[in-house]
Structure 1
Amino acid sequence: APGPIAEIELWRDRASVLSALCQQLKQPMVQKILDVTTKANPAIIHTLNGTIADLSKYHSESDNNVFFLKTLERHFLNLAAGSDFTMMKETIPEMMESLQIIWQISRHYNSNERMVPLMERIAWQLCEQVSRGLHVLKLLKVNREEAYSMVLCAKSVLEQWKSSYYDVRAAIEKSGRAPRWEFDHKRLFEISDYMASVCQDLCYVFQVQKEFHNFFDPDMKSREQIKEMLIRLDGLVSLFEEVEFDPFNISENGNWKK
């Protein structure tokens, strides 16, 4: 699924096309053609008026959707940039609050049919950026501290997505005024929850590796037995280079757990 920016572009394109059509219908030449057509075939007037009314309705809907989605655009751009996990994490709560406002006051994004696909796009974007940022080979090229920090930050991004959702739901339920904020959890969180669990596994690996290295002082590390043990430990971590599947792909869950 494409990211949420595509949703804005979809409605912008639709609004642009429908606006052009509405403007053309107002041109004198078009009005004359319509007058001649309806006089020649009066029975067509109801169909014609219905079509024009639908066109106007769809144009209004598109403009309204663009108006509200524009309030989310900078958040979506932050997520799409996505190389900085800290920025992504900071973006999520404010973005979720904006989604809540849209849910409450927009005329067309106040239903599950519209809001769930939009949030699904956001979830996809988050997961995509985490998957790209935590490529196994990339993690193995940096030092242990940096790798651990990267994975921990990515995990916090995925967890923030879910916690912000529940924060908004709690606020709505407390107010007792807005429509219920309850969407399909599987569509919104199944993949991000799984990826967070993989991040937790990776954190554990890097944490254990770090603790072993920090446990021994330089003098002890100079001893052959300790040195050999640490080399073997680092060798186990480097086995990730041989992984032939994407550990963040939920369909590879069975292989990852092996």
Structure 2
Amino acid sequence: TQNQIVYFIRCTPVPITPANFEATVQFGTVRGSYIPALLRLLSGVFAPQIFTNTTWPESIRNHFASHLHRFLACLTDTRYKLEGHTVLYIPAEAMNMAPEVVVKDKELVQRLETSMIHWTRQIKEVLSAQESVETGENLGPLEEIEFWRNRCMDLSGISKQLVKQGVKHIESILRLAKSSYLAPFMKLAQQIQDGSRQAQSNLTFLSILKEPYEELAYMRPKDISSKLPKLISLIRIIWVNSPHYNTRERLTSLFRKMSNEIICLCCHAVSLDRIFEGHVTSSKEDLQGCIACCQAWKDHYLWAVQMHTQFSSRGWVLDQTSIFAQVDAFVQRCKDLIEVCDCQYHFARWEDGRQAPLPRFFGAQGPQITRNLLEIEDIFHKNLHTLRAVRGGILDVKNTSWHEDYNRFRTGVKDLEVMTQNLITSAFELVRDVEQGVLLLDTFHRLATREAIKRTYDKKAVDLYMLFNSELALVNRELNKKWSYLEPYMAQYSGQAHWMRILRHRIDRVMNCLSSAHFLPHIGTGEESVHTYQQMVQAIDELVRKTFQDWTLTLDKDCIRRLDTPLLRISQEKAGMLDVNFDKYETQSDSLPCCARPQLSPERDSRLSVPRAVLVWNSLICCNSGTSTTCL
């Protein structure tokens, strides 16, 4: 790569010739960065010529030299600050002169005082640099360790510069001149020595945190919790043993930096793109892991406070509110993003990178309900796109604009909740039986976790159980009829039992549908309906048993003689028709009385087909009454 450049500048717009080249063209070279090159050019070429020039008038030379010293001091400071170092600019103007001679030149003494004022300003900046790093909101413990390492290098570098011959020579000159700027500088120089020792001590103690925190960088939030007690114990070791890093402010700042580190690790584990692209399930797991990690950090800290207070004579005087302010804000931000994931699941059918199938609605208004549901999804996607536009600052807890954007999103979601409630209400207007209602509630079940929609959902569940109650009332009314309608081919007792079992099957089918609907809420109306169903089932079973008992009382002990009776007879109700001429019942042989069981023996099973033959004959009579009589 090229590391230097040669430049040519034409000072006046005249033709360039070999004779006027040096007078017309200014040229030179610049190596490396432009600031170091400029400093090197001024210090090595121009400054020596200017300071040794005796041809200029005294006033002009003093004025120009004063400004040049100021510029070189600022340029030197800027050049080395780029590398993180502090370098004192030492004027070379009086280096070869005895202090007694320099003191007589008041203008030169003033220029040296200007340089010492600049040194004083530089040293004050270095000494106050700790305040800026303590208030850093996004820095972590590793940055704190790096700061003290750089501070050690910087302070030790300044200490070495303070004992250089050039600095000592200027000190001796200003001491002879009784300068008022010397005492503050010497006081700051002593503070530099003390600060260097403190920085080295702090670095030694903070270095025990480096390895554990470097391990955290490769861990998931859910795995960080097990490492937190050790880190807190190490900070307590620093607190108890460090002679300089044991102040309330520095320890509070260190714990706050630990909170920053945990937040930073959690931010790396959360993908905003996956959240807004519909990976709802996995994103919620990541966010809940971050919340659990932050809560574990807080719990371990409080446990350490309790143990320290119980067994240590030194009180725990740290500012807990300051330590966990950003952690609490980050936890709330994670909860907001979980709500965004829930909204995608509820209003856009997103699960984990894919959309669930669109539900189908029955009836003539089914297509219209589907269109309304798609309209809700479109509106939600627009609101989500607006929120995603500011995703760069979503996880930044200091980004206060997030609250405004999220509140607008929540307002849009509330409007969608109202639209969904109206959609559920209109869809239930078409429900005429329990099975249809269960299908609809199953369709909208994913929305029932939202408080506003849950109220409507629970109300429709009550309406569903009211439909079941209506079904139970109809069956109860049928049971309470004095005479039930029976088909002509059905016997009195077995027909009544069969009719009651049909009624039970009618309510059993509905109850099975409700029982399999695990998503139905537990409400008082439902429990009452189930209790009414159970009572009705018991009543039906009791009626069936009573009917059977009444039938057994009508049987003769010598029932075998009844088989001698003709199987067919002419119907007395309808001319030309036939009717069966033996008892008709439908039950199992093992529940019959002993006297009636021979009639159902296997060799007599053919008699049970007589009712079917009667039905066929009567059908022929009805279809062809003129010829059937002749055939008979």
Q: Same fold (TM over 0.5)?
A: yes
Residue 63 of structure 1, aligned match among 172, 193, 200: 200
Q: How does 1:74-113 map to 2 (within 5 A)?
A: 74-79=211-216, 81=217, 84-113=220-249
Q: Distance in 2 between matches of 1:48 and 1:247?
A: 48
Range that drifts further, 191-200 or 134-143: 134-143
Q: For each residue in 1:190-216, what CA deviation from the matched residue of structure 2 results, as whole angstroms up to 9, or x when unmatched?
A: 222122133234446657949xx9xxx
Q: For each residue in 1:116-170, what CA deviation from the matched residue of structure 2 results, as whole angstroms up to 9, or x when unmatched?
A: 2233333233323433432432334474432222111111122223222212211
Shift of 1:58: 1.0
- Say yes or no: does 1:253 pair with 2:403: yes
Residues 253 and 15 (structure 1), Cα distance of their counterparts in 2 relative to 1, 3 Å cut: same
Residue 12 of structure 1, aligned match among 141, 149, 152: 149
The structure with the greater share of residues assigned to helix is 1
Q: Distance in 1 between matches of 2:394 and 2:184?
A: 56
Letter in structure 2 aligned against 1:120: R
* Percent of aligned pairs with the same amino acid: 15
- Give the aligned partner of residue 330 of structure 2: 195
Structure 1: runs of 5 or more not aligned: 214-220
Structure 2: runs of 5 or more not aligned: 1-136, 350-356, 363-369, 411-632
**CA contact under 8 A between 1:104 and 1:179: conserved in structure 2?**
no
Q: For each residue in 1:79-113, what CA deviation from the matched residue of structure 2 results, as whole angstroms up to 9, or x when unmatched?
A: 5x367223443433322221122122212221222
- Give the aligned partner of residue 164 of structure 1: 300
Letter in structure 2 aligned against 1:57: D
Residues 235 and 112 (structure 1), Cα distance of their counterparts in 2 relative to 1, 3 Å cut: farther
Residues 66 and 206 (structure 1), Cα distance of their counterparts in 2 relative to 1, 3 Å cut: same
Letter in structure 2 aligned against 1:199: C
Q: For each residue in 1:49-70, what CA deviation from the matched residue of structure 2 results, as whole angstroms up to 9, or x when unmatched?
A: 7555433311110001101111
Letter in structure 1 aligned against 2:208: T
Residues 101 and 74 (structure 1), Cα distance of their counterparts in 2 relative to 1, 3 Å cut: same
**CA contact under 8 A between 2:251 and 2:318: conserved in structure 1?**
no
Residues 148 and 173 (structure 1), Cα distance of their counterparts in 2 relative to 1, 3 Å cut: same
- Say yes or no: does 1:72 pair with 2:209: yes
SS at match of 1:224: coil
**CA contact under 8 A between 2:275 and 2:341: conserved in structure 1?**
no
Q: Distance in 1 between matches of 2:310 and 2:191?
A: 39
Shift of 1:189: 1.7
Q: CA RMSD in A?
A: 4.3
SS at match of 2:253: helix
- Give the aligned partner of residue 178 of structure 1: 314
SS at match of 2:314: coil
- Give the aligned partner of residue 266 of structure 2: 130
Shift of 1:179: 3.4
TM-score of the superposed pair, with normalisation by structure 2: 0.33
Letter in structure 1 aligned against 2:192: L
Q: Distance in 1 between matches of 2:229 and 2:156?
A: 34
Shift of 1:237: 8.2
Q: Distance in 1 between matches of 2:380 and 2:228?
A: 32
**CA contact under 8 A between 1:93 and 1:164: conserved in structure 2?**
yes
Larger RCO (CA within 8 A; separation ≥ 6): 1
Answer with 1 or 2: which has the greater Rg: 2
SS at match of 1:162: helix
Residues 144 and 255 (structure 1), Cα distance of their counterparts in 2 relative to 1, 3 Å cut: closer
Residues 78 and 166 (structure 1), Cα distance of their counterparts in 2 relative to 1, 3 Å cut: same
- Give the aligned partner of residue 217 of structure 1: none
